[in-house]
């Protein structure tokens, strides 16, 4: 059974810092890994999707890497801003067709980020 772990559970940093959020998963048989952002009272917003054949994806100040063989992904946020404060979730999509058709996501419990002025 796939398990996804995110460390740390919470993180508080001053504005301007570069930071790294970690995600690990136990089963390397994945189609892809997605990073989401969750704001209070709002839904999940997809930030980056990395296919299993890719090593990294970039969007603006965000860079996500994937090391499938070791079961790890990192989300790098450059020059953090107060507006980055949110909970960040990673989720993996399984390779097995029988597991919800391949589109079922297994989520970590998230890292709650606070960027202070």
b/e string for 56-84 if b means 16 or more Cβ within 10 A?
ebeeeebbbbbebeebbbbbebeebeeeb
Q: Taking contact as CB under 8 A, which single stretch among the options 11-19, 21-29, 76-84, 104-112 is the one that binds other proteins?
A: 104-112
Q: Report helix, strand or coil for 5.
A: strand
Contacts with other proteins, 11-50, as mask; x by CB under 8 A = -------------------xxx-x-x----xxxxxx--x-
Residues in the chain, how many? 117
51 binds other proteins (CB under 8 A): yes
The footprint of other proteins (CB under 8 A) covers 4, 30-32, 34, 36, 41-46, 49, 51-52, 89, 91, 93, 95, 97, 100-105, 107-110
């Amino acid at each position: 059974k796939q398990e996804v772990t995110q460390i740390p559970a919470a993180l508080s940093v001053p504005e301007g810092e570069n930071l790294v959020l970690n995600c690990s998963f136990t089963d390397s048989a994945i189609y892809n890994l997605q990073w989401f952002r969750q704001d209070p009272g709002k839904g999940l917003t997809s930030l980056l999707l990395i296919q299993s054949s890719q090593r990294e994806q970039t969007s603006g100040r965000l860079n996500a890497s994937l090391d499938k063989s070791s079961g790890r992904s990192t989300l790098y946020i450059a020059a953090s801003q107060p507006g980055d404060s949110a909970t960040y979730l990673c989720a993996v999509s399984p390779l097995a067709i029988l597991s919800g058709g391949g589109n079922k996501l297994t989520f970590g419990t998230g890292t709650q980020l606070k960027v202070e002025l």
